[in-house]
Amino acid sequence: MRSIAAIGLVMLAGAPALANDTSAVLTTGGLEFVTNQDIVMESEELFISKEEIRVVYQFRNTGEVDQNILVAFPMPDIVPNFFSPVAFPMGPDDNLFEFETTLNGEPVETTLHEYAYAFGVDRTKLIKQLGLPLVPITSAASEATDALDDETTARLLHLGLVAPDEYDAGEGWEKHHWPAWTYKATYTWEGDFPAGETVTVEHRYKPSVGGTVGVSFLSEPYEDYDPAKEYADKYCTDEPFLAAVRKTLTNPDEPWSAPFFESWISYILTTGGNWGGNGIGTFRLVVDKGSPDNLVSFCGEGVKKIGPTTFEMVKTDFWPDRELEILILERQPTQ
C-alpha cells in the first residue's frame, strides 16, 4: 500500500465499508436481518459521489429451490445539524433519498420503513402521536416543533428530541426549538431468485452528505479529544495527507485556514456478509471526488487512480468488516 498525498488519496490498512443489500424478515419488533446461505453475491459494482450512489449486484441462487426473498437496504442515518452546511438529500417525504431499484432491468416497488431516534431510543411512536413529520430536516418539521406548546417542548427537550436556538436577528433576542432526532430509514422489496440462476439488482439514490465549513482535523487535541486521531481511524488520513493539507494554509498558525470545506459520505457494507458463499465474489468500488482540485481520503487496499477525479478498488472474495467512510475536501472558490 502507498499514500498518494499529491492526489489526495490515502490508502492505509483497513477494509472499506458502505450500504449493502441484505436478506431480511419483518417481525413484530421491526426489521431484522437474517442470513441466507443459498443466495451468493457474485459481484458488486459500487459508485460513490456526492451527487449519487449507484450499486449493481449479481446474485446467484445456488440452491435447488426457487426463492422469493425479502431484501432490505438500510440507508445512512440523517442527523439534523442546523449550524453546518450539510447537503442533506431533499427528495419527497415518502422517498427522501430518491431511492430506485431494478431487478433484471425492471423497476421494483419498494417499501420504506422509517424511524425517529434520540439517544439510541426509538421515539417514532411519540413523534407520530404529536403529528410531527418523521423527516427532521424539512422546513415543515422545524415549523412544527417551533409551534409546540411549552409543556410539550419541555418534554421533548428532556428526551433530546428538540434543540434550543437563541439569537438576535435585529429585533431583540428570539428563542426557537428545532428537530434534533435522528432519522433512520430502510427500504425493503421482494424478489424472485430462481434456482441455479443469476439475477441483476441495481440501486440508485441520493446520499446524505455531512460536512464542515473548514478543515477541522488539523487542530491540536483538546478535552480528551484528538481530531487527527479520529480522522486517521475513520478516514485513514496519514501524515503525508495532512502535510499536503498544511501546505495550503493561508495562515500557518491557524489550522482552520486551509482553503477547503469537508464533505463526509458513509455507506453500510457489513450487511453484505448476510449472503452465502465466500463473501462478495468480485467487489469493485469507484469513488468520485467531484473536482480535480478536491482531495479525498478513505480506508482501502490496492486503490488506484483511474481518472481525473475517480479512484478504484477491486477485491475478490471480499468480506466487509467495517463501514466505508469517505472524506472529501472541496476546495473553496477563490475570492
In 3-state terms, the chain is what percent helix, strand and coil (to 5)? 15, 45, 40
In this prediction, residue 335 has a pLDDT band, given cuts at 50, 70 and 90, of low
Q: Is pLDDT above 70 for 86?
A: no
How far is CA 284 from each of CA 135, 185, 306, 315, 325, rounded to the nearest angstrom? 32, 25, 12, 7, 16
Return the pLDDT at 85. Answer: 57
CA distance 210 to 328: 10
Query: Which of 160-169, 175-184, 263-272 shows the highest mean pLDDT?
Result: 175-184
In the prediction, which pLDDT does 6 show? 26
User: What is the CA angle 162-167-171, rounded to 5?
Assistant: 130
> Taking the C-alpha atoms of 186, 191, 194 and 196 in order, what is their torsion angle to the nearest 10 degrees?
-30
Domains assigned to the chain: 3-123+181-331 (2.60.40.3680), 124-180 (no CATH)
Q: Label each residue of 238-288 as H, E or C.
A: CHHHHHHHHCCCCCCCCHHHCCEEEEEEEECCHHHHHEECCCEEEEEEEEE
Specify the pLDDT at position 75.
Answer: 86
Instruction: Indicate whether 331 pLDDT > 60.
Output: yes
pLDDT 10s digits, 50-75: 999 999 999 999 999 999 989 888 88
- Considering only residues 156 and 278, tell me which one the structure prediction assigns the higher pLDDT: 156
pLDDT of residue 315: 95
Look over the chain and give the mean of its residue pLDDT values, rounded to a whole number: 86
How close are the terminal C-alpha atoms of the chain, in Å?
A: 38
Percent of residues, the chain, with pLDDT higher than 70: 90
Report whether pLDDT(12) > 70: no
Contact 178, 163 (CB under 8 A): yes
> Residue 124 contacts by C-beta under 8 Å, 6 or more apart in sequence?
114, 115, 116, 117, 134
Q: What is the pLDDT of residues 226-246, one digit of tens each?
A: 988 999 999 999 888 898 899
pLDDT tens for 194-228 read 999 999 999 999 988 888 888 989 988 888 889 88
User: What's the sign of the alpha-carbon dihedral 200, 264, 222, 228?
Assistant: positive
Residue 187 host element (H or E): strand 182-193
Contact criterion met (CB below 8 Å) for 291 and 330: yes
CA 76-216-211 angle, 5° bins: 30
Q: Is this structure's pTM higher than 0.75?
A: yes
Residue 276 has pLDDT above 60, yes or no: yes
Distance CA(184)–CA(204), nearest Å, equals: 18
Report residue 21's pLDDT band, with 50, 70 and 90 as the boundaries.
Answer: confident
Rounded to the nearest angstrom, the gap between the alpha carbon of residue 266 and the centroid of all alpha carbons in its chain is 3
Going from the C-alpha of 80 to that of each of 26, 142, 149, the distances in angstroms are 28, 11, 22
